């Protein structure tokens, strides 16, 4: 039989809820697919972008028990855009709290962009809870990758970068990250919301090989813009709360597990060299370079590659256990 490459039909969750994480944060979570199937955890990007209904469609609902949640401060989790007690270590602990709440022993971990970052950080902290990894648009959050986002992308998207940079006064453009971070944390809605929208739309304009109005509109929505703008700047300023190059340095903790990466050749947000370096550091891993795609999961070649990877994992996980 020919391996499936297209998204599965839309489905609704059969269970969902709000999980209190602490006195401040509450997490939205949902389950769909086969309640008795192989658990798969979907980790959204950003940080701060939130998950959506279409993300369920990467997975065979007859085979997988599909678990999706919105990370702290993102999407349907509350409060939106909250930075207090919001670190990589908190997110890893949240995943473990969700896992134990749902009674999951081990799961396949699926993440794109920041989701790939969090997938690696979680896996390296809890390798015994992972069956394998499907990653997209690998982001290792090294200083040069953050600097690339802030300034380097102008080499390919000068118009988008000019709109991003010129939002700040001339005397503040020498420190784009610091001055955006300050505005994004201003309590006044009239200050933080326009800055968040400019930041998020900049990312959306650079996310695809060809302009995609649907992708750009999603990044421009209030919920996504506030989550992405404020939380990304927070994590960037704090260098994702991990030692430099830690994700590559600790990969030995998970390299016994199967891993498939799908990477756009022309991914400007997360340049392919990071996916290549991760692949080189992970013997037995698989890397698919999609030659006609940028960063977004919704570019046709990336979508096909991710569905194919989730299908392939059905046998990869069985042989790795």
pLDDT score, position 320: 57
Would you call 317 helix, strand, or coil by DSSP? helix
pLDDT score, position 3: 79
* Beta-carbon count within 10 A of 38 CB: 20
**Residue 116 · residue 138 · CB < 8 Å:** yes
- Show the tokens assigned to 12: 């609704």
**Do the bridges between strand 26-33 and strand 15-20 make them parallel or antiparallel, or are there none, so unpaired?**
antiparallel
pLDDT score, position 1: 53
- Show the tokens assigned to 43: 């980790």
Would you call 227 helix, strand, or coil by DSSP? helix
> At CA 230, angle to CA 135 and CA 117, rounded to 5?
20
H/E stretch holding 5 reads none
The residue behind tokens 């042989």 is 319
Q: Could you give the dihedral angle defined by the CA atoms of residues 230, 233, 234 and 236, in that order, rounded to the nearest 10 degrees? A: 160
How is the chain split into domains, by residue range? Answer: 15-142+243-320, 144-240
pLDDT score, position 317: 87
| DSSP labels, 52-81 | -GGGGGGS-TTTEEEEEEPPTTSTTSBSTT
pLDDT < 50: residue spans in the chain: 321
**Residues in Cβ contact with 271 at an 8 Å cutoff, skipping those fewer than 6 apart:** 145, 148
Sign of CA dihedral 29, 34, 38, 40: negative
Whole-angstrom distance, CA of residue 294 vs CA of residue 58: 18
Q: What percent of the chain has pLDDT over 90?
A: 93
**Residues in Cβ contact with 190 at an 8 Å cutoff, skipping those fewer than 6 apart:** none
- CATH 3.40.50.2000 corresponds to the domain 15-142+243-320: no
Catalytic site residues? 113, 267, 295
């Amino acid at each position: 039989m020919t391996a499936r490459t297209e998204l599965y039909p839309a489905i609704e969750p059969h269970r969902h809820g709000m999980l209190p994480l602490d006195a401040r944060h509450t997490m939205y979570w949902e389950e769909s697919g086969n309640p008795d199937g192989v658990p798969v955890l979907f980790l959204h990007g950003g940080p701060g972008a939130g998950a959506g209904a279409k993300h369920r469609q990467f997975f065979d609902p007859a085979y997988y028990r599909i678990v999706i949640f919105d990370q702290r401060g993102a999407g349907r989790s509350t409060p939106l855009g909250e930075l207090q007690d919001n670190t990589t270590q908190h997110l890893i602990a949240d995943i473990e709290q969700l896992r134990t709440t749902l009674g999951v022993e081990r799961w396949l971990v699926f993440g794109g962009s920041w989701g790939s970052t969090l997938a690696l950080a979680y896996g390296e902290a809890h390798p015994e809870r992972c069956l394998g990894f499907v990653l997209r648009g690998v982001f290792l959050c090294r200083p040069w990758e953050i600097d690339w986002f802030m300034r380097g992308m102008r080499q390919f998207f000068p118009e988008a970068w000019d709109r991003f940079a010129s939002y700040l006064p001339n005397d503040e453009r020498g420190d784009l990250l610091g001055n955006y971070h300050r505005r994004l944390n201003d309590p006044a809605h009239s200050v933080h919301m326009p800055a968040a929208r400019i930041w998020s739309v900049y990312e959306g304009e650079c996310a695809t090989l060809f302009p995609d109005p649907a992708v750009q509109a999603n990044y421009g929505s209030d919920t996504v813009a506030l989550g992405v703008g404020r939380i990304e700047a927070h994590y960037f300023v704090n260098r994702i709360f991990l030692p430099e190059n830690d994700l590559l340095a600790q990969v030995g903790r998970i390299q016994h597990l199967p891993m498939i990466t799908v990477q756009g050749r022309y991914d400007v947000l997360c340049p392919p060299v990071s996916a290549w370096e991760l692949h080189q550091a992970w013997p037995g891993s698989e890397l698919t370079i999609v030659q006609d795609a940028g960063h977004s999961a919704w570019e046709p070649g990336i979508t096909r590659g991710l569905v194919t990877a989730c299908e392939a994992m059905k046998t990869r996980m069985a042989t790795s256990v």
